[in-house]
Amino acid sequence: MEVDNMTDMELVHILWDYMRLNQKLEKCDCIIGLGCMDLTVAEVVADLYLAGYADKIIFSGGYGKKTKIWSEPEAEKFAKVAIDKGVPKEKIYIENKSINTSENFQFVKAMIEEERMDVHSCIFVGRPYGEKRIATYFKKLCQNIKE
């Protein structure tokens, strides 16, 4: 591929397309929102819940590098966004100690096991450019749960 004649946006689209998995959405047991500074993630999780893709939500995220400035952990801030969109509070579980993607998965997996949640399939929602990284962590840490 010759990149000399491509615009910056064309190059960004190539990278963006490479990082995305374009997986088909299917109903599942749980929607898991991975914390970050982008509140759109919480909005997408809420929209998926309200559209009937799952009957429970887990938000995962403590204080990351960029969200240390917030007055509350990412997961709690995300939960407020979802509740404001109409998700019942009792359908939301919060993991608010993780500070990176690896810990998101470790702590969510531990929560599912400790709470004896009936979770065999899930949708993970994060920033779109992180799909491959999220899928890799998921396969490593959550082998008994269908993605």
Structure token pair of residue 36: 């970050």
Sign of CA dihedral 78, 82, 88, 93: negative
Minimal CA–CA distance to 124: which of 34, 14, 62, 3?
34
Question: Could you give the C-alpha distances from 47 to 57, 65, 117, in angstroms and in order?
Answer: 11, 27, 22
Residues with Cβ within 8 Å of residue 50, at least 6 apart in sequence: 85, 86, 87
Contact by Cβ (8 Å): 29, 99: no
* Amino acid sitting at position 101: T
Say how far residue 14 (Cα) sits from the centre of its chain.
23
One pLDDT digit (tens) per residue for the chain, 147 residues? 566 778 888 877 776 676 666 678 899 999 999 999 999 999 999 999 999 999 999 999 999 888 888 999 999 999 999 999 999 999 999 999 999 888 988 899 899 999 999 888 888 888 766 665 666 656 655 555 554
106 C-beta neighbours (distance < 10 Å), count? 18
Amino acid 132: pLDDT: 58
Do 80 and 35 touch, CB atoms closer than 8 A? Answer: no
122 Ramachandran zone, left/alpha/beta (phi>0; psi -120 to 50): beta
pLDDT at 58: 97
